[in-house]
Amino acid sequence: MPYCRYCLKDTPIEEMPSPRTCIHCRKEQLAYGAVKAKKRRKSRITRAKNAVAYYFLKKRIKHRPFPQDIVPIQVLLRQMISANRYKKNFLHVDHAIPVDHPLVCGLTVSWNLQILLRHENIRKANTCDFEFQEAWLMRWAKERGL
């Protein structure tokens, strides 16, 4: 008579849905898998809901975003999280002007954040193209009327 590899009991073949697992152990496995999947879904929803707080906690950024920038940053981070839903760390949120650079210091504000592919962000690292960034900032200031 075959035995179940989980409970190590001899069980008749009729009660063995798979070659090595009895019906009772199989039900326990399925229930455990359902609970685990529910926890994963719940954590993903919570992470998307609290995207800004999660991002600042994960990146260990000390300063909080400006109050008027919280909603645009949340939208950007939720886009990134939903895009990364099926392939983890496929996209990253990147600072156009780096936060930690010897010559400049970019803030975590909505206009300084961009979504990049993981390998592009790693390749960019802590560099900054000053001519491009200057033109980009001037265009942004003109759009705002500054």
pLDDT of residue 16: 82
Residue 19, φ and ψ in degrees, nearest 5: -60, -25
DSSP helix/strand/coil, 67: helix
pLDDT digits (tens, 9 = 90+) for 2-37: 778 888 888 888 888 877 888 888 888 888 888 888
pLDDT of residue 137: 78
Please classify residue 47 by burial: count the beta carbons closer than 10 Å to its beta carbon, then call 0-12 exposed, 13-18 middle and 19+ buried.
middle
pLDDT of residue 3: 79
pLDDT of residue 59: 65
Helix or strand (DSSP H, E) at 44: helix 23-49
pLDDT of residue 146: 74
pLDDT of residue 49: 72
- DSSP strands (E only) in 14-118: 91-95, 113-117
pLDDT of residue 7: 83
DSSP letters for 1-28 = --B-TTT--B--GGG-SBTTB-HHHHHH
pLDDT profile of the chain (146 residues), mean per 10: 80 80 86 86 74 69 75 83 78 80 73 85 78 77 81
pTM for the structure as a whole = 0.52
Check if the beta carbon of residue 121 is closer than 8 Å to that of residue 129.
no
Q: Residue 98: how many CB atoms within 10 A of its CB?
A: 19
